[in-house]
Structure 1
Amino acid sequence: MRLRGSCLCGAVAYELASEPKAVTHCHCTMCQKQHGAAFATYGSVPKADLTYLTGEQLLRSYSSSAHIVRKFCSACGSSIQWAGSEDYPGWVSIALATLDTPFKPKRVKHSHEQSMVCWLAVDA
């Protein structure tokens, strides 16, 4: 299965050679700030399974913490990925809202619920 995705302006395009695993709605304050939303949804793939088709030179990096590096399109600001987990160094997490190919995960979990915004109701 090959999944394709892109940023808002379409300048950055990528392909995933495997289906994302560990799909998570992350409620941490860093994801809230980066996405300007109540949470961000990410799925993880082995780094070797992510290929940038166009626009890789437009990606900018931001170290949001000691080990985590987030990448986004410098033209439109779309969040694309983050990586650097000490527990999973060979993996990258993709912002699933950037997928252009339909993908329905089998399971989605919530993380960092302690920093969930007060105005979001979640039926777990």
Structure 2
Amino acid sequence: MSIMTVLLMGCGNTTVPLAEVFRQEQLEAQTIQIVDWLNSGAYELVYETFREDMQQVLPVEEIRSACMETYGNAGDFVKYGNTVVNGQKIEEEDYAVVMVKAQYEKQNVTFQVGYDAEMKVVGLYMK
């Protein structure tokens, strides 16, 4: 099962160039850090990156459960693959969405993390 908050799935959201408030290198590094924390079971650290409304939607136990369900039998982490960073505008607010592909022994997993302008996580998706 995949997890995603509906915070980035509202009507009228459009992919746009990355807003000036964001730095691509910082977005990529933060997303890889989040995936590293997920891989090591540090779900509380991931939770701490969430915006307050995201914390209400996705508690720590659900993060753990989603990871187990999505790639719990994938084996050990091998390496990161492609990373894609896009801007998104929803109701005049700027967001960034980072997609990272990760290779495990038995499976590939795509992680998608959405950020608001203050670099708080507003969306988390894995498949």
- Structure with bigger helix share is 2
Taking structure 2 as the reference length, the TM-score comes to 0.28
TM-score, L = length of structure 1? 0.29
- Whose strand fraction is larger, Structure 1's or Structure 2's? 1
